[in-house]
Amino acid sequence: MNIFHKTQKKETRKLPMTGKVKKGFRYYCAAVLSVTAVFAMSTTAFAASDPLTVVNNLSDFIFGFIRAIGLILLGFGIVQVGLSLKSHDPSQRANGFLTLAGGVIITFAKEILTLITG
């Protein structure tokens, strides 16, 4: 008794596309990529007079980005611990607490580095 028929072969074919449609699609793709490139590359850069200010601003930006990643990990760790308490899964609970601890450390990385360096 054969339930599954493996003898049927299905063919896949490309949809027919005329030369004008292909050419139009190429122009459309080129236009979209050009507009995207123009908007992506047209950012205004304001120069500061003091190089130390530039370095401090860059440092603040990088640590702000790291803090955002830490907060995301912190939230994910809280969700993971909550789900593990619901499902009574000890390995997921351990992973949740590790993610929570990592999120706290990453969130306060700048303050921790300031405490270490003095």
d(CA 109, CA 40): 31
Q: In this prediction, what percent of the chain has a pLDDT beyond 90? A: 42
**CA neighbor of 76 nearest in space, from 94, 96, 101:** 96
Q: 20-75: per-residue pLDDT in tens? A: 888 999 999 999 999 999 988 877 777 667 788 888 888 899 999 999 999 999 99
pLDDT attached to residue 48? 62
How distant, in Å, are the alpha carbons of 57, 90, 94 from that of 100?
A: 29, 15, 10
108: left (phi over 0), alpha (psi -120 to 50) or beta: alpha
With tokens 């401090």, the residue in question is 56
Question: Is the pLDDT higher at 47 or at 118?
Answer: 118
**Sequence ranges of the domains in the chain:** 19-47, 49-117
Question: Is the pLDDT higher at 43 or at 77?
Answer: 77
